Structure 1
């Protein structure tokens, strides 16, 4: 930080110099368009290399270009004051359009001054379209005009310049007997010639409509059009001709107005009005030319019409046109270069720009010698000795320093004392070297300003103080003291603090004694070091303020335990990783300093002694042995972090270590088995029938356990297909007689690991002939024999159950006189549920109620649906619908009529074996 007082800065002598910078901007930019920072772009350097506050302004007096811009007086940012139109500011100029302005940089506290010359090059944009003088032109062309005959047309004008002006023309109308030729003029226009390209015949066609387009050279070309309405007649085909295309003339500046200095004599070989020559000044040149000169329309006399004495221009280019008086006149041009001799002496003109905000110059009584107070510009429109000017002043307290041929800096020569003289009136006189010598004078009013120029100074530039954290609030920590060398300033000062916003309420100071107090208890972890400014204001008028820095260093105490970031940790390591390899690292922060903030790590004392991990002091977790995910997939344990303070503080965090699977297990196939399995398949099995499913699993995880199934040698017969995803084995096509036989199918099961692991099994498939007698095939015999045994066993079991059920029912019937037998199904589970006086029989979960009286059974009609009964035969109970044919009872064989049989009372005999369904 630069701590030199303002007095030291003001005593440095600054030598002014001039800088020049150039800005390029396109025309038509919006108002307040930013050009740049003048100071930085000009690489402005202060006299002593220090950063001082400068004020920037534009010199507007006598410089109209400066009115087009405005500048920020503090930052030197330069902006446009209005929309700039190059075509208006620099009309008829094909060269660069340069706007010139001067920027001054001065310091309000010392003698620094610089003037920067700024040139703004206004770049043309293609913002104007070519415009013909008329949008429609009526023309008459003689029908006897031969091929190559041309007819002049006024070209289009474009207010743009350079490449953006008109570059070419073309005929848009097709199938016309004309072509176009152009002749460029010095004023940027062009003479168009409509040339007859074919013989004309008025009797065949007496009118043509021709559209001509003018095209400029912009990046996105703009166009203008004119329509020619051509009537075939006779034509004027010769333009006037000047004897010379270029004339040079020299005239004195005091030439009498209306004096002729050149007479043109252009000729036209045409007759009558077609050959009558008329003169005029070209309209496509500056207004200044038409204001100062004229040409006689019939005489061709070029004369001066206004005095040239007050004009600043020393040379002119005049474009004169000659045209005939035909209906469609032809024109030609000549250029006249006029040089004006300086023959009249003018007195110099003085322009004073004071570098203050008032009409008079201001300077401090303690300002350094060489301080610039004003800028004086001198202009003399004369040339030669008449334009050489020198200037002087009549006050030895100031002097003029030349800053270019026409400019002076009005600077301080001696230290001023306001108590002796407050106002100075300085006369400036400027004299030229003409004959006779002419002079001009002007006055500058200078006011000397009084200042209090010695601020208070503290005994130290920086006060360092150590304060323990958590100390009691409202404790005094420091007393500061300031002194002042000014004799008019009282010995007491008003002390104040300038605190950052976040520390606004941390400290206060006694305004009289300078004692600084800590209002709050300080926390080193939140604010380890606080720097703020202390100021002392003297009693001067105006008062001055001195300042110093106070740096408070907060001494640490161990009041913060380590904090894990994050509060829990999760690491992922692959299984089978070698021991003593880093699994991850723990992170904990301690806001304290020194040993109080140094953190170490360890496992808790309650950690499992068989835990396969160790924690180093730096927080690194190491694996102590090889891990197998298939045994344990995840470990959870607690770690502790402790600081190194005299009374260590600790904190804990939970650690989860996930064992990441690697493909270290091959699939395990449960079907077919290792010894191989035998599968019988009938030859009449339909295609796509699933005949078996491969069963396998993998102890790995995720994609490593995702299994795929393949048949390695199934392509030999194209008989079998294995679903890659489900392992279902199916028949691919219908088996023919030639396919009957035994097949050893090689099954591959592969996991999804990279690289994959796999296992093979062999499944033997026997395709049998479905048309052969099973008794001829030993294996078939075994199969059918097993089926017969199974059916027999089922039949015996069902018979026993039916017998037991019937016996139970008969026993209950004997006990209940009012009850009658219920109908049952021999192949159903029978339960009885009493309901009033009639039992229900539950057949396969459905209750059926039957009430059949004994008297009715004795009087059953004897017809085809009943059987004859003998004395020792059982009594019929109900009519049954037969489900399966069975053997007859051993004692009496009932007659079978249709599909019905009689149910007999088998209380003393064995019931039939086959099952029946009861119906009324």
Structure 2
């Protein structure tokens, strides 16, 4: 009867199989099971398409949580997806196989569903195992020849008959025991130890036997059971069922409180040896045991949960009856339960997607064409007749349902999808049978539209400008650039890189987050600006990119000390010939600095050799001049030591020595005395008085001007509105138009110079004879400064005052400050003479200037005119003649 059921099941399953493949268990993942593309006869009924490529894809169960065992490539190669274990996948002594459904498509169009049966061939990878490594048997010494004792069987987990077929051998042949084997009703072995002769406990009361269990595999595997035999009384009867096979039929509507079947086994022993308990045998699958409950004491079998909605279902239970003896003895019976379905069932809808899904959500690309295959729908109804006839519909503007035959459909694209308009769509398939009343089932699932890389990334700005410092360590931060991409997934993942259009190696690098850092230390003097490109690209397919301009300006640090360009050597010899009519300027010191801005703004000082305080140097122009009147006793040699400082932080300096030989003409005063000092002091005191008086006069003039403007404005307003105003001026004095004088002051040296060279130094002999001419422009250069013209616009008002006598006439020049807010541009020369180029410009704004001019008489026939001009502290201008 059992063989008839198995034959019917195999026959039904084979009717719908297109292909059958074999694969051995234990093969590693990726093992090729078969090539479907070679089975061309399966596509004979499919009309050929022009230039089409046939692809294969495995259909995935949308709701089943089983692990996927096989994969199929687009070319039709069926491979294992994991290590196959027949023992965990299949039942004992049955054909182990799995069904695989393959969708055949030509480009995007569906052709056919191929159902493949993959048989997993069992490998002898399990040895027979006893439930215990050792058992104890008892024989009564009164037991005669032929007395038997049962021993437990070994179990082999292999599923094939050959690998799980076990033979037993008794190793100890000299003992008074032998091994007997027989088959039970379910095909398992029944093993017994038989007594060959009587036992005498006084002679020997203990025996140790070894039973070898060997399977039928190649090579065979075995295990050993140790049997301890004690000569005493024993439990020698096993429970016997009243029936070897129980066959019952029930309705699906039967109440759970009623038993499905009752099994009964009897044991001839008494006491604990005759007490019987019931349990499920290990051959009963867990899936079958989940539907039933077994009372271990009474043998009553009850339904445990609702049966599934199949037309007819048969369940096979293996029940063991075991006594409580030592060792326990057992026997097995089979219970066949037939569950009959006598009610109308709703249709069942199974949806399998071409692409992998996450539960009820499947993802498709927005680039799919109309008619593309999305899912395979299979509908089943456990009912018969009209109750089992089903119609299905899918109402959606983007998708439709096409029939593939009886209760089989495919879901295809009806119109193009666009992720930007609709990225998520909910679909519902409704199937309804033709029973009375009709029953319907609704299957819902969702479709996510996957973005394609169709938008290129773009920067937030077309040009990024950054400032950074020179001389910093590598990885010093420079700046951050940012780009965005509205695409999703890989199409929105961005990476950055830097490049130069001319192929130069850049001293910068950029991270994948857009942070630019230095790759090496930078030098402002070598290059102060870098212009290059930043490239951003996404990780989509195809990859899209964009570029932006990057400008990095290197900020200067004070890392270069100034150096003298004149004198060019140290010490440097200079001969100066002086006579009273010459100007006070001697020469101009020049220095340079490779830095820029404030770091290149230089100041000059005299460090030593000026004990007589005869010389002074302009700290900003570098003009070396006499600081006082020169006398004959000042003639001689002077070793003047100069220092030049920049304005950076920290301050850097350079020094040089000028060996100056001064010769004085005979017309010069003979000696510098204390009287001269007092005279000079008086001049300075008078000068300070003049400055104070001039300041007071200017202040009074400003106040008077403001009052006059206010009164004049009031008179104009009164005249406008018709009020009488006196035309007489209440203020004494005549108003005269102001004149503007634009005056440029320059110092030009047209002095012949004689160069005298020796081995140690260079000597310049120079006679200072140049004169200052009004109206000319004085030009002086210093390191880090452009040649400069100082122009002052001075408004001069002359007033002639006559008081008392005609002999006494004084003319005063009142200098007012009207236009003194002017800019002085100071920059370095274009070529320092040492291979470096200075490109630095610094703007300085002058203060309102004041000019006081006064004549002094010093000695017979000598007149001096002193002019004091107040400018910005960085620009000092001397008078034309002393």
Greater C-alpha Rg: 1
The structure whose RCO (Cα within 8 Å, separation 6+) is larger is 2
TM-score, normalisation: structure 2: 0.44
